[in-house]
Chains A and B, each alone.
Chain A
Amino acid sequence: MGGQWLSTVEQTSSGRPVFLPNEIECSLVSAVDLECEDLPSFPSLKSGLLILTTHRLIWLPPDTSSTSTTSSAVAVPLSSVSHIFSAKKSLKAIFHSPRIRFQASLFHEPGSNPEPGPRSIVVTIVVRGKGDCDAFLGKFWESWRGRAWESEVSGPVRGEDLGSGSGTRSGSGFYTKEGAVRMVGVSGILRKEQEMWESTDKSLQEAFQDLNALMSKAKEMVMLAEKMRQKLLSGSNSQTGSTNDDELGSKEEMQDWLLSVGIISPVTKESAGALYHQQLSRQLADFVKIPLDRAGGMINLIDVYCLFNRARGTELISPEDLLQACSLWEKFDVPVMLRKFDSGVMVIQNKSHSDEEVFVRIKALVTNPDALRTGISASDAAITLGIAPAMAKEHLLTAESKGLLCRDISPDGFRFYINLFPEINQDDVYLVKDHGIYSTWVRVASVS
Chain B
Amino acid sequence: MTQVPSLKILCIFSPVCTVNAYRNKNKTFFITDIVDTMTRLLTVMVLFSQVFATRVTADKPGAPQCEPQNMLLSNVSRELLVTWEVHASCASLRDQLIYELVVLVEDKPVHQEEFAVMADHIGSSHSWSWMSFLPLECASHSVQIRSRYTNQTGPWTTGTLPGLEPSAEIQVYPQDHVFEVGSRATFCCIVPLGKTFSTMFLSNYRDAPSNMSMVNNHTYALTVDLLWPTLVSDADVKCKAQMDEGGSCAIVGYPPSDTDLQCETRDFQSVQCFWTVGPQIFSDPTTYWLLEKSCNGQPKGKCSQKVKVNNGERNWTLIARNVLGSIELVDEADLTKRVYMYAPAHMTVSAVSARNVTIAWTWTVQQYNLLNLTCQINLYDGTTNIQIEMCDIGLQSVVLNGLIPNWSYSAKVQCATETDFWKWSEWSKSISFHTKGDIPDALDVWMHNVNHQTLIIWKLLEDHQSHGHIIDYEVTWTDLAKAEQENKICVVHPTHSIALNLSTFQKYIVKVTARNTYGSSDPSQIFISSQSQDPEMITSRINGTGGGFSLSWAANVTASCGYIVDWYPVSGNSSEWLKVPPSNTSATIYSKNFKDGVRYILSVYICTEEAPVLLEKREGYVKEQRIPDNMFNNLRWQQHASDVTISWDQISLKEQSAHIYGYVLYCIDESTVLRVTTDDPEATSLTAAKLKMYSYTFTVHALTSEGECGLTTINANLSIQTDDLVSAIIISLVTAFTLVLLITVVCYRSWACIKQKIYPPIPEPVLTGKWLSPKGVVPYCPKEELPVAVPKLHSLPRMSNDGYICQRDQLITSTKIPELDLPLKKNILQTSSLTSTRLNIPSVWVGNSGEYYPV
A binds B: no
